[in-house]
């Protein structure tokens, strides 16, 4: 990220090229989940870190927050029926909610002023948004899908909140470090 991103608003938009690049980001995201996933907290080994949100965040910064949500939904569904099929509809839904909170927040802030500073602010706010929204989502959705009382979910909340903050933080940091190198290709 430069202090300001190249102005792409005057360039003609090639929808086919943009769609192909977004498809590539989805594919990279699914492959990353297949290759890299591990628990952060041994006590709750079912909460596994994966770098799937990095290509989604990159696509969000390149194409905007709406594109980020589209990337999130497509990636979540493909991932949920292939490499993460064991988590089923629950995993798909939670991934969509978590990553959408991250990309909408980070994408809206970054899209207003494409600079390093707004990228950092957007990513930090995105991490916070994802963490807070997933506290609520877990309190509502997890008892329904897992058949456990809310009190059980609440007892795990320090791990759940920590997991979401760490996962989003790592993925946000990596996105910040690699976006500039990739953005030229995505804006061509």
The domain segmentation of the chain, as residue ranges, is 15-37+50-187
Among candidate residues 102, 48, 35, 110, the one with its CA nearest the CA of residue 71 = 102
Is residue 134 within 8 Å of 98, Cβ to Cβ?
yes
* CATH among 3.30.1330.10, 1.25.40.10, 1.10.1760.20, 1.10.730.10 for 15-37+50-187: 1.10.1760.20
Long-range contacts of 91-94 (CB under 8 A, 24+ apart): 93/141, 94/134, 94/137, 94/138, 94/141
Identify the pLDDT of residue 150.
97
Alpha-carbon distance of 160 to 168, in angstroms, equals: 12
Exposure class string for 107-120: b at 16+ Cβ within 10 A, else e:
bbbbbeebeeebbb
Identify the pLDDT of residue 13.
64
Q: How far is CA 10 from the centre of its chain?
A: 28
Identify the pLDDT of residue 184.
86
Q: What is the pLDDT along the chain (188 residues), one digit of tens a residue?
A: 544 444 444 455 688 999 999 999 999 999 999 999 999 999 999 999 999 999 999 999 999 999 999 999 999 999 999 998 889 999 999 999 999 999 999 999 999 999 999 999 999 999 999 999 999 999 999 999 999 999 999 999 999 999 999 999 999 999 999 999 998 888 87
Identify the pLDDT of residue 7.
43
For the stretch 159-186, pLDDT in tens is 999 999 999 999 999 999 999 999 888 8
Strand, helix or coil for residue 100 = helix
Identify the pLDDT of residue 91.
95
Angle, to 10 degrees, between the axis of helix 157-187 and the axis of helix 116-146? Answer: 130
For the stretch 76-87, pLDDT in tens is 999 999 998 889
């Amino acid at each position: 990220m430069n202090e300001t991103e190249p102005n792409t608003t005057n360039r003609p938009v090639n929808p086919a090229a943009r769609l192909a690049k977004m498809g590539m980001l989805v594919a990279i995201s699914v492959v990353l989940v297949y290759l890299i996933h591990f628990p952060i907290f041994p006590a709750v080994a079912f909460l596994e870190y994966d770098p799937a949100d990095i290509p989604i965040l990159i696509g969000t910064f390149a194409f905007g927050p709406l594109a980020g949500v589209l990337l999130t939904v497509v990636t979540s569904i493909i991932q949920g029926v292939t490499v993460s099929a064991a988590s089923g509809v629950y995993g798909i839904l939670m991934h969509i909610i978590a990553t959408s909170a991250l990309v909408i927040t980070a994408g809206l802030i970054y899209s207003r002023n494409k600079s390093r500073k707004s990228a950092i602010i957007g990513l930090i706010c995105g991490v916070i948004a994802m963490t807070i929204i997933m506290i609520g989502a877990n309190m509502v959705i997890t008892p329904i899908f897992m058949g456990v009382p809310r009190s059980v979910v609440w007892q795990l909340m320090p791990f759940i909140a920590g997991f979401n903050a760490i996962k989003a933080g790592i993925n946000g940091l990596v996105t910040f470090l690699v976006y500039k190198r990739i953005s030229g290709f995505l804006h061509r």
